[in-house]
Structure 1
Amino acid sequence: MNKKIKITLCAVLCASMLAGCADNSASGGSAVSSDSSSDTQTTSSVSESTGSSSDTSSETSSIDESKLTEEQIYDNMVERSLMDLGNLERMSKFIGKLESKQEVTIAFIGGSITEGLTAGPEKCWAKLTYDRLCEKYPDTKINYVNAGLSGTPSVLGNIRLQRDVLDHKPDMVFVEFAVNDGNDQIYKDSYDAMVRKILSQENQPAVALYFTVIKSGHTCEEYMSQVGKAYGLPMVSLNNVLSHEFETGRMKWEDYSDDESHPNEWGHKMTADLIMNMFDKATEKIKTMGDVTISPLPDTWVYSDRFADMTFIDRTHSSDKLKISSTGTFDTEKETLTSFPDGWSYKGKPSECEPMEFEFTGKNLMLVYKCANSKVYGSLEFTVDGEKYTTIATSASDGWNNPVATLAYSGAEGAHKVSIKPVTQNGEDKMTYVEILGFGVA
């Protein structure tokens, strides 16, 4: 751990503890709950025999934390974050490259916490982790890819994975979607597909999972960690850190975040410490492992293969899986969103719009669209194989001109003909606006 950063963070923690004690005296303290709180360990340690975390709650309960220094308490927070080191086969290859001064690329994919909302691109945990690795390996060229995108879950992450991450041929990928996802099956299947696709790359990249939590206690750590266990991946839990500190009254949510979800600058620095602790523990363990062979992926999926090898298509990304025969009167020149600039849009009366038509081959078709909170934004009506299949609204009360991915068709494997046209929210033939950002096919 960088000594200067550690001292700074310990000072912040000390201040937080003092403030927390005062708050507790007045109000009885505060705590954050979690959907997976019953499964969250109060501490973790690294097993010497397997490299996996083990339950040491009985050992922790015997420690009188009142006698620890702020620095020791902070060290315990960092240690508690490590859920599992996994089998370290891929990490051994990545760390070996770093130590032998081979050029590597490290990538991060997730939502706004990874993108760096509130802290900024230079002070977010992903960039800080990259900076720390550059300091640790000053003679190694390390390339940095931040594919965090605000407000997006693993459903959209799986669709954009190739474009935003895999095209850079990363040697190491961090995945962070625990607070952007829900508990529905579509999230579980998408998360499984995304992680497995990264692991299936020819260059055998290392993958680590980072599980965040928001003020309400929401986190998908419980089911996402099953993916990590099945594929032998390192896993780091923020909830393991915060829940214990909140319960003791040493910290409150506002010490970590200035809103309901995002870490403040201190929170991002702490997160980088959690990640570097994983790297340090992995490095020490790898020294005892000798030659390592990367095991093949298990034949069975953790959840489902229905979104396996998802392919993204827009104006500049083409695939034999989807062939457009006509874009109708949809605009093919206008830039849509910065994150998805090459889509198609339409502004006008539905009766005056000629539909977009294409054929896709697969079982599932995802629509990526711009979602706005506006009466002007209409819906998109899908006709599949000659029959009206679904209508998808592109306006929602929580829309903020953000990209959204939704399942537009799920059915039998094969070739399917699709026609898309805009309709207004109330069905009247009046001015409306829609933006298609792209499609995903699996």
Structure 2
Amino acid sequence: MEYQIKYENGIANRGCLYRLKKVMDRAKAGEALNIAFLGGSITQGSLSSKPELCYAYHVYEWWKKTFPQADFTYINAGIGGTTSQFGVARAEADLLSKEPDFVIIEFSVNDDSTEHFMETYEGLVRKVYTSKTKPAVLLVHNVFYNNGANAQLMHGRIARHYNLPAVSMQSTIYPEVVAGRIENREITPDDLHPNDAGHALVASVITYFLDKVKTEDATEQSEPDYPAPLTKNTYEKSIRHQNSDENVVCHGFVADTSAQRDITDCFKHGWTASKKGDSITLDVEGCNISVQYRKSVKLPAPVAEIIVDGDAEHAVRLDANFDETWGDKLELDTILEHGENKVHKVEVRLTETHENDAVPFYLVSVIGSSEK
């Protein structure tokens, strides 16, 4: 079905088009290029009936149709239920190691509209933009279709600060839903994840902008000067500690060495434990520390606590019991933010277990973020 939406309103920030124009010139010249996407469940393709009908694949197909002489590779690094805080920690492994030439970053419905997520998003944007291949970066703001919520207010500040192009569903598709010209159930079953028609519509907002860039004459002859950070920017250098680390002491925690299917198979490379008192200790450098663990729908599950530098008084509870039904969740809790930038001793210890625990406690990773 054809929908009439105001595509021009979708350009939340025009940004500097120098890099995007260069990628298009390389495509015109028939080069091999990597088209990549980093985001949450919408990028992963959640609720599209098959992977080729998600917005990311439609955008990849735009590149193939528009520049048939070029050789494109599709890289989808979307993981459902994850934020830019995890995105910056996994960017190297899941995205930058594939040497992308064009990257869409999509976390505006996963991040809350807070200063914290403005900082983690900035760290991610900087990490991708300054990476070895110097990719063209396009920011995409998806939206909740029942209330128009997203983190665009915060993410948009990053777009403008770095003069990056950004497109928005909040100012294109959402107003049509509010006006009743698009029935929300025609494009999304849950007011967030698009169905096939919704994914095609999201893609059309993005490809409208790309078409416009392609036909416009280039005005920028070079990249603008790279600005100093807008936030404290303590997340750009984030390191995940998993069971390949040698500097870990386990008492009852066991490394999970099973093979990982793909990046969405996220309960991998961690450790499991099932007895009260089981503990794991590791050294983590940084001024920010966060922990990833599994919250399970299979109940009951154990409960642990995490202690930094022996400060048991400020231990944080890690409850692996998940009271939702949609599936196990990769939980990410921030334990320390803007603390002392040094090597911290981090201990995770099981504090509650049950005779009939359905699953062990699964510690996926501990993430340390250092000031540059």
TM over 0.5: yes
Return the offset for 1:371.
1.2
- Which structure 1 segments of 5+ residues have no match? 1-8, 14-73
> Match for residue 100 of structure 1?
29
CA RMSD of aligned residues (A): 2.2
State which of 203, 214, 217 in structure 2 corresponds to 1:272: 203
- Asked which structure has the greater CA Rg, the reply is 1
Aligned mates of 2:106, 2:112 — CA distance in 1: 13
Structure 1 residue 429 displacement after superposition: 9.0
Q: Who is 1:66 aligned against?
A: none
Answering whether residue 355 of structure 2 is matched by residue 437 of structure 1, we say no
- Please tell me the residue identity of whatever aligns with 2:37: F
CA contact (8 A) 2:99 2:132 kept: no
For 1:390, give the aligned amino acid: A
Look up the match of 1:379.
303
Give the SS at the match of 2:27.
helix
Aligned match of 1:82: 11
> 1:424·1:430 contact (CA, 8 Å) conserved in 2?
no
Aligned pair partner of 2:59 in 129, 133, 156: 129
* 1:245 equivalenced with 2:172 (yes/no): no
Aligned length: 358
> Structure 1 residues 187-196 or 365-374, which shifts more?
365-374
Task: Work out whether residues 11 and 166 of structure 2, in 8 Å CA contact, stay in contact via their aligned partners in 1.
Answer: yes
Is the aligned partner of 1:339 residue 2:266?
yes
In structure 2, the partner of 1:390 is 315
Within 5 Å, give how 1:73-222 maps onto structure 2.
74=4, 76-119=5-48, 120-217=50-147, 218-222=149-153
Tell whether 2:234 aligns with 1:306: yes
C-alpha separation in 1, matches of 2:174 and 2:276: 52
SS at match of 2:171: helix
Cα distance in 2 for residues equivalent to 1:288 and 1:106: 21
Moved beyond 6 Å, runs of 4+? none
Higher-helix-fraction structure: 1
Cα-to-partner distance string for 1:127-166 (whole Å, 9 max, x where unaligned): 1110121111112111111111111122222222221111
Question: Contact between 1:171 and 1:204, CA under 8 Å: does it hold in 2?
Answer: yes
Q: Where in structure 2 are the equivalents of 1:293-332 lying within 5 Å?
A: 293-299=222-228, 301-316=229-244, 318=245, 324-332=247-255
Q: Give yes or no for contact 2:145–2:174 (8 Å, CA) kept in 1.
A: no
- SS of residue in 1 equivalent to 2:186: helix
Whether the 8 Å contact between 1:376 and 1:433 is mirrored in structure 2 is no
Calculate the TM-score normalised by the size of structure 1: 0.76
Structure 1 residues 222 and 409: alpha-carbon distance in aligned structure 2, compared to 1, 3 A threshold: closer
Cα distance in 2 for partners of 1:186, 1:198 equals 19
Paired residue type of 1:173: V
Alpha-carbon distance change, 126 to 244 in structure 1, aligned in 2, over 3 angstroms:
same
- For residues 89 and 250 of structure 1, the distance between their equivalents in structure 2, rounded to whole angstroms, comes to 36
Q: Distance in 2 between matches of 1:366 and 1:375?
A: 24
Q: Is the 8 A contact 2:34 2:99 kept in 1?
A: yes
Distance 1:418 1:182 in 2: 27
Tell me the TM-score normalised to structure 2 length: 0.89
CA distance in 2, matches of 1:243, 1:402: 28
Give the C-alpha shift of residue 237 in structure 1. Answer: 0.8
Are the structure 2 counterparts of residues 138 and 193 from structure 1 closer, same or farther at C-alpha, using a change threshold of 3 Å? Answer: same
- 1:246 is paired with a residue of what secondary structure? helix
Aligned to 1:17: none
Superposition deviation, residue 435 in structure 1: 0.4
Q: Secondary structure of 2:52's partner? A: coil
1:412 paired residue number: 340
1:52-99 CA-partner distances (Å, limit 9, x unpaired)? xxxxxxxxxxxxxxxxxxxxxx3x533332222211122122212211
Q: Distance between the aligned counterparts of 1:132 and 1:93, measured in 2? A: 17
User: CA–CA distance in 2 between the matches of 1:390 and 1:97?
Assistant: 53
Letter in 1 for 2:323: S
CA contact 2:143–2:174 (8 Å) conserved in 1: no
Per-residue deviation at 1:247? 4.4
Task: Answer yes or no: is the 8 Å Cα contact 1:334–1:345 preserved in 2.
Answer: no
Alpha-carbon spacing, 1:312–1:296, altered in 2? closer, same or farther (3 Å)? farther
Q: Deviations over 1:376-420 (max 9, x none)?
A: 322332232232242222323247312121112332011222222
Q: Which amino acid aligns with 1:324?
A: N
Q: Is the 8 A contact 2:18 2:218 kept in 1?
A: no
Contact persistence 2:114–2:154 (CA under 8 A)? no
SS in 1 for 2:182: coil
Task: Provide the C-alpha distance between the structure 1 equivalents of 2:45 and 2:248, rounded to a whole number of angstroms.
Answer: 40
- Look up the match of 1:231: 162
